[in-house]
Chains A and B, each alone.
Chain A
Amino acid sequence: MIAQSAWLLPALPAFAALAVLVAGPQLGTRGAWLAVLATLVPTVLSIWMLLQTIDRLNHALTSAPVIAAHRIATLGPLSVSASTRVDGLAALLCVVVTVVALCVQVYSTAYMRDDSRYSSYAAFVSLFTAAMLIVVLSGDLLWLLVGWEVMGICSYLLIGHHWEDKPNTDAAISAFIVTRFGDLGFTAGLAVFAIGAGSTSISTVLGATYSHTTLVVGSLLLLMGVVGKSAQFPLQTWLPEAMAGPTPVSALIHAATMVAAGVYVVDRLAPIALTGASSATLAVIASITMVFAALCALAQEDLKRVLAWSTVSQLAYMYAGLAMHSNAGIAHLVTHAAFKALLFLAAGCVAHAVGSTLMSKMGGLRRGMPLTFISMTVGLATLGGFPMLSGFVTKDAVLESAWSARETGVVATWAAWLVLVAGVVTAVITAAYCVRVWLRVFAGRAPKGVRPHDPPLAMSAPVLFLTIPSAFVGLLLTGHWFEVLLFGDPTTAVPLEGVSFTGVQGGVQVQLSWALVSSAAAAVGAGTLFLVWRAAPHRDPARILGRSQAFIRDGMRMGELYVRLFVRPLRDRFAPTVATIDRRVIDGGVVGTGRSAVGLGGLLRRTQTGNVQLYITVLLVGVLALAVGAVAL
């Protein structure tokens, strides 16, 4: 059953997108409802699929993925299939993706109602969902790449939704180009493994054996793509800029699609993506990103940008978990999807009421918009690591996995220590910026002219709904089912296809020692910030960063640095030079050949003076020369 119906998951939103794009203006608002419907059906389907998969694992004692493939390309040794490959991981991710996408679509019906381009927006969100589902379900590397890149272009189109203003299209281009830069490595990595295994089927590729060099080079190349897609250091610049898009799009990009795709793909391709070298690299990248992004989040003035940087930071937790070969990364992906979608959608509600996303325009919003206040408080508490809420549980699992990785040796000991230290430091900063946001948005008094009010039902319903998983899904994941789902029931000892290596393992456990450590870290961060705030409630508590605040707020100016280092020299200097060389040298050579031929002819024309006597003289000289020559020779 799963095999026959899984293709519907990406197909339905994709067809809806096509239909809305083609017939958009005629459909009007019905187009939006078509998009909602095309997300609702896959949501139901994917929940059913997840339950089926759990059931299968529990009873049928098999954990082999259900694969359905349709060949779309045959080339030499390779044959590419548009395939679906459903196992526990994919089924779980499908639920996450579709639920978040559904919330976003429903929310948008109210949020985007007055937008003149709502129909194309709804279509691109649908296409985005479809592309993510292709990535999640694909059983073929190249088909996965299709979904992977279509997501890139959807993010480009959605970030540039307000394309009248150049900064927005700049942000869109930046998002596409930076992620595409990562994808160069990703594509090369896929080539390494696909050619190495002689197949693009994921099952075959994961099961093949490679030389050590191939494995190391290939895995590092794959990481490059993942780092770009998930906005990890040093390719993190595009994500904060992507805030130019409408808020629900941010919820989609940050919670369930695009950035999450990188995490998912690392887990999906773990046997080839997580070798010793790449695990250590990933741990280093994650550690740097974690702290860096958390600091940037603390310095932001724009509410959405705080959330954007927090995504970067939380993604780093996921990668840290994966680098420790632990399942905790995926668990954090699931909880993060819930609370980050909640936070973005709630931030949209706030912006809806205030008319701006700048925190300096907010304050005192706890009155007047109680639904938003409650849900956002839950979201921030989860993000900040309030004990036993979802974010706390899964983040703890990451730290715990790093602690045990010190000894199991799946990754270098120093890398595990690095993750531990960075993780705790980040926990402190995260709690601090969460408290800062909460205080600046909800505490104090509302600025003049702002009348806080809860948004319409279509917007508040998804937000309220997401509050529940944000708070509790973490505890749910501590259950045995999660471990079973992802890695097969250890008691039945049926090795999962392709994961027969020392790979990603384990469930989510909350250990008292680590719970205490991270609770303490969160308390330190939150407490410090609260004290700073209480000293001067009207001033921004981020002043503890001192003078560097502006520098940190601009993401340490790395985006600007890239523009200066690469974009400007290449686009504004080098390209015109090449074009000049093309015109002067290459085309000049061609035209020059023609000109010199004409020029040579011109020399001969000189003799045609029209003076008969000259002709005769030359004739005579010629005759004499011939005669003399004939006699002499």
Chain B
Amino acid sequence: MILVLMLVVSLAGALGLGLLPGVRRAAAVAVAITISGVVLALACGAAATFDRTRAGEAQLGVDASWIPQLGVRFHIGVDGLSLPLVVLTALLTTLCCIHAIRYVPEPGNPATYLAVLLGLETALLATFMSLDLVLFFAAFESVLLPMYFLIAIWGGPARRAAATKFVLFTLLGSTLMLVAIFALRVHTGSSDIVTMAAAHGAGIPTGVQNALFLGFLAAFAIKAPLWPFHSWLPDAHSEAPTAGSVLLAGVLLKMGTYGLLRLAVPVLPHAAHTFAPLLGGLATVAIIYGAFCCLAQTDVKRLIAYSSVGHMGFILLGIATLTPLGISAALFGNVAHGVITSLLFFLAGSLKERDHTYSIAELGPGLLKRAPRLGAVLIFGLIATLGLPGLAGFWGEVLAIFASFRPANGLPLVAFRFFMGAALLGTLLAAGYALWLIQRVVTGRPREGAVATEDISRVEWAAWAPLIGLTLVLGLYPDLVLGVSRAAALAVLGAQQ
């Protein structure tokens, strides 16, 4: 019931704020923080009551009849795959609402803005909770709507084009997934994901499995995004408002990797095995390619966006190994990337609020002189993003690399060893672009005439401190997440063990 309550509260908040556009900013923000705070508290409650010893099974669920004519049920629940993402969603939304105390992007209208954020939260939570194919698809698609508005209304100068590209690109994948979902429904006679996952592809001919897998892969690869379907991401990020970028990178991208692990891999294991080398190869390209694109960027936000392409590459590489180690690494990477990249997007937003630009050349050098604490946190964030051990980013990457040393039986060993080497090289390039960015923006002597700028405000501390703390805690005690992902990873691979 606690999950339903989360959905109801956030949806009610969204509708309430949406229907009262004229509310004063302070009141709207207070309401939004309360609502998202309640949802976060519920999410923490769910995490607390979650039975970690049975992390592979769906828990706290509700399974009610919804559309009996089609056999579609309102089936929700969380397991080790989704629980960390549910908590992450609730956390990031709360932080975005806190951030709105300080800043609501042009053209203002805070009540509607916050309503859209809460609507996005509802849709995201629903996506991660659904255990019914049709429900999942509905939730997966409904995420698009608030995100579209967030970019198209509160975005930068080229927001319309970016928002349109984002929506059309994603819809292309979704359409293919819809076909796959119909076909799957026909073949299995059920739309219950748990049942289908338990069957592990039994009764679906190999050819059909492959076709269906490609359908799912299209949707999830675009969402993740996997190279070469990533080109909507830098545009969307560079135009989206800060909160949009935070949720986009922090949670939306994870829908892709989550979908692969929730649907594609367990339901169609044979096809997953067939396409794993392809997935691994594209993921490896993404790692290297993303890093090189980062080196060439002149815009902070686009740089962070491309770094996301690389990081998601590590996560997808972990999935492609089809081993418990790799999938645990991917699940951890999901959360770690969500935390670290959100922090970086918050930082980029704050830089823009102060200096009104994202351009690396104009922001730097010498931020550390002009705003010492802001500079220090930026260094921290960038060091975290390069995968320093002891911080959250490390485990997901290094374990994906470890996993690709020995992928699942039957996968081409040589190819994966090659991926491993390339991924390692990617970590070196990541260090290169992160440290170079520090050199160009944070350190150095400020230009003549540059003035001290506002250092981190209280609101910003409130929004960032949880992310900084989590980066450290997850880095030193990854079992916080890995504790639940291990059983989930085994469940995903079930039949192959």
Please give the residue numbers on chain A whose beta carbons come within 8 Å of chain B beta carbons, in ascending order.
71-78, 80, 82, 142, 145-150, 153, 156, 160, 163-166, 169-170, 172-173, 176-177, 180-181, 184, 187-188, 190-192, 194-195, 570-571, 574-576, 578-579, 582, 586-587, 589-591, 594
A590 to B439, CA, bound (A): 34
Q: Indicate if the CB atoms of B405 and A75 lie closer than 8 Å.
A: no
Q: Indicate if the CB atoms of B389 and A579 lie closer than 8 Å.
A: no
Mark contacts of B413-448 with chain A using CB atoms, 8 A cut-off: 1 yes-contact digit, 0 otherwise: 000000011001101100110011011000111000
A193 to B401, CA, bound (A): 13
What are some 30 contacts across the A-B interface (CB < 8 A)?
A: A72-B477, A73-B395, A73-B479, A73-B482, A74-B479, A74-B483, A74-B486, A76-B323, A76-B328, A76-B489, A82-B476, A145-B389, A146-B389, A146-B394, A148-B389, A149-B390, A149-B394, A150-B389, A164-B369, A164-B443, A164-B445, A165-B444, A173-B439, A188-B401, A191-B420, A575-B293, A582-B289, A582-B293, A586-B228, A587-B235
A230 to B408, CA, bound (A): 36
User: Is B103 an interface residue, CB under 8 A from the partner?
Assistant: no
User: Is B398 an interface residue, CB under 8 A from the partner?
Assistant: yes
Q: Which residues of chain A are near B476, meaning CB under 8 Å?
A: 72, 82
Q: Which residues of chain A are near B274, meaning CB under 8 Å?
A: none
B268 CB, min distance to chain A CBs, angstroms: 22
Q: Which residues of chain B are near A75, meaning CB under 8 Å?
A: 324-325, 328-329, 332, 399, 482, 485-486
Q: Indicate if the CB atoms of A578 and B289 lie closer than 8 Å.
A: yes
Give the secondary structure class of A's interface. Answer: helix
A122 to B292, CA, bound (A): 35
Q: Which residues of chain B are near A76, meaning CB under 8 Å?
A: 323-326, 328, 403, 486, 489
User: Is B463 an interface residue, CB under 8 A from the partner?
Assistant: no
A265 CB, min distance to chain B CBs, angstroms: 15
The chain A residue with its CB closest to the CB of B326 is: A76
Q: Which residues of chain A are near B486, meaning CB under 8 Å?
A: 74-76
Contact partner, A578, options B293, B332, B399, B479, Cβ 8 Å: B293
Q: Which residues of chain B are near A177, meaning CB under 8 Å?
A: 428, 431-432, 435
A199 to B197, CA, bound (A): 30
User: Is B25 an interface residue, CB under 8 A from the partner?
Assistant: no
User: Is B297 an interface residue, CB under 8 A from the partner?
Assistant: yes
A181 to B289, CA, bound (A): 18
Q: Indicate if the CB atoms of A142 and B398 lie closer than 8 Å.
A: yes
Q: Indicate if the CB atoms of A575 and B435 lie closer than 8 Å.
A: no
A78 to B399, CA, bound (A): 10
Contact partner, B169, options A80, A188, A576, A590, Cβ 8 Å: A590
From B228, B231, B483, name the one whose CB has the most chain A CB atoms within 10 angstroms. Answer: B231
A215 to B487, CA, bound (A): 32
Q: Indicate if the CB atoms of A153 and B388 lie closer than 8 Å.
A: yes
User: Is B37 an interface residue, CB under 8 A from the partner?
Assistant: no
Q: Indicate if the CB atoms of A180 and B324 lie closer than 8 Å.
A: no
Q: Indicate if the CB atoms of A169 and B390 lie closer than 8 Å.
A: no
Q: Which residues of chain A are near B406, meaning CB under 8 Å?
A: 195
Q: Which residues of chain B are near A176, meaning CB under 8 Å?
A: 431, 435
Q: Indicate if the CB atoms of A576 and B296 lie closer than 8 Å.
A: yes
From A165, A188, A579, name the one whose CB has the most chain B CB atoms within 10 angstroms. Answer: A579
User: Is B232 an interface residue, CB under 8 A from the partner?
Assistant: yes
A163 to B401, CA, bound (A): 33
Q: Indicate if the CB atoms of B231 and A187 lie closer than 8 Å.
A: no
Q: Which residues of chain A are near B313, meaning CB under 8 Å?
A: none
B14 CB, min distance to chain A CBs, angstroms: 31
A32 to B72, CA, bound (A): 65
Contact partner, B389, options A149, A172, A591, Cβ 8 Å: A149
Q: Indicate if the CB atoms of B428 and A77 lie closer than 8 Å.
A: no
B257 CB, min distance to chain A CBs, angstroms: 17
Q: Indicate if the CB atoms of A575 and B295 lie closer than 8 Å.
A: yes
Mark contacts of B458-497 with chain A using CB atoms, 8 A cut-off: 1 yes-contact digit, 0 otherwise: 0000000000000000001111001101100100000000
Interface pairs A-B: 3 shortest CB-CB: A76-B324, A76-B325, A579-B296
Q: Which residues of chain B are near A166, meaning CB under 8 Å?
A: 439, 444
A141 to B51, CA, bound (A): 30
A172 CB, min distance to chain B CBs, angstroms: 8
From B325, B329, B390, B479, name the one whose CB has the most chain A CB atoms within 10 angstroms. Answer: B390
User: Is B383 an interface residue, CB under 8 A from the partner?
Assistant: yes
Q: How large is the interface on B (under 10, 10 to 19, 20 to 34, 35 or more residues)?
A: 35 or more
User: Is B165 an interface residue, CB under 8 A from the partner?
Assistant: yes
Q: Which residues of chain A are near B478, meaning CB under 8 Å?
A: 72-73, 80
A570 to B432, CA, bound (A): 11
Q: Which residues of chain A are near B477, meaning CB under 8 Å?
A: 72
Q: Which residues of chain B are near A194, meaning CB under 8 Å?
A: 402
Q: Which residues of chain B are near A184, meaning CB under 8 Å?
A: 424-425, 427-428
The chain A residue with its CB closest to the CB of B478 is: A73
Please give the residue numbers on chain B whose beta carbons come within 8 Å of chain A beta carbons, in ascending order.
165, 168-169, 228, 230-232, 235, 289, 292-293, 295-297, 323-326, 328-329, 332, 366, 368-369, 383, 388-390, 394-395, 398-399, 401-403, 405-406, 420-421, 424-425, 427-428, 431-432, 435-436, 438-439, 443-445, 476-479, 482-483, 485-486, 489
Q: Which residues of chain A are near B168, meaning CB under 8 Å?
A: 594
Q: Which residues of chain B are near A578, meaning CB under 8 Å?
A: 289, 292-293, 296
A187 to B425, CA, bound (A): 11
B416 CB, min distance to chain A CBs, angstroms: 12
A160 to B365, CA, bound (A): 15
Q: Indicate if the CB atoms of A169 and B439 lie closer than 8 Å.
A: yes
The chain A residue with its CB closest to the CB of B442 is: A163
Q: Which residues of chain A are near B428, meaning CB under 8 Å?
A: 177, 180-181, 184
A165 to B366, CA, bound (A): 10
A150 to B401, CA, bound (A): 19
8 further A-B contacts with Cβ under 8 Å, apart from A73-B478, A194-B402, A590-B165, are A76-B323, A149-B388, A153-B383, A184-B428, A188-B405, A191-B402, A575-B293, A578-B293
Contact partner, A586, options B231, B420, B479, Cβ 8 Å: B231
Q: Indicate if the CB atoms of B329 and A579 lie closer than 8 Å.
A: no
User: With A149-B388, A176-B435, A187-B401 known to touch, is A574 a contact of B479 (CB < 8 Å)?
Assistant: no
Q: Which residues of chain A are near B398, meaning CB under 8 Å?
A: 142, 145, 187
B262 CB, min distance to chain A CBs, angstroms: 19
The chain B residue with its CB closest to the CB of A152 is: B388
Q: Indicate if the CB atoms of A74 and B388 lie closer than 8 Å.
A: no
Q: Which residues of chain A are near B289, meaning CB under 8 Å?
A: 578, 582
The chain A residue with its CB closest to the CB of B289 is: A578
User: With A160-B443, A164-B443 known to touch, is A575 a contact of B431 (CB < 8 Å)?
Assistant: no
Q: Which residues of chain A are near B232, meaning CB under 8 Å?
A: 590
A193 CB, min distance to chain B CBs, angstroms: 10
Q: Which residues of chain B are near A148, meaning CB under 8 Å?
A: 389
A184 to B424, CA, bound (A): 6
A156 to B296, CA, bound (A): 23
A587 to B229, CA, bound (A): 9
Contact partner, A574, options B292, B427, B435, Cβ 8 Å: B292
Q: Which residues of chain B are near A570, meaning CB under 8 Å?
A: 292, 295
A150 to B436, CA, bound (A): 18
A78 to B403, CA, bound (A): 10
A195 to B407, CA, bound (A): 11
Q: Indicate if the CB atoms of B325 and A188 lie closer than 8 Å.
A: no
A513 to B448, CA, bound (A): 66
Q: Which residues of chain B are near A74, meaning CB under 8 Å?
A: 479, 482-483, 486
Q: Indicate if the CB atoms of A72 and B479 lie closer than 8 Å.
A: yes
The chain A residue with its CB closest to the CB of B483 is: A74
A303 CB, min distance to chain B CBs, angstroms: 26
Contact partner, A71, options B228, B292, B435, B479, Cβ 8 Å: B479
A80 to B399, CA, bound (A): 11
Q: Indicate if the CB atoms of B292 and A579 lie closer than 8 Å.
A: yes
Q: Indicate if the CB atoms of B421 and A188 lie closer than 8 Å.
A: yes
Q: Which residues of chain A are near B293, meaning CB under 8 Å?
A: 575, 578-579, 582
A170 to B293, CA, bound (A): 21
Q: Which residues of chain A are near B483, meaning CB under 8 Å?
A: 74
A184 to B397, CA, bound (A): 12
The chain B residue with its CB closest to the CB of A156 is: B435
A24 to B326, CA, bound (A): 40
A156 to B423, CA, bound (A): 23
Q: Which residues of chain B are near A187, meaning CB under 8 Å?
A: 398, 401, 424, 427
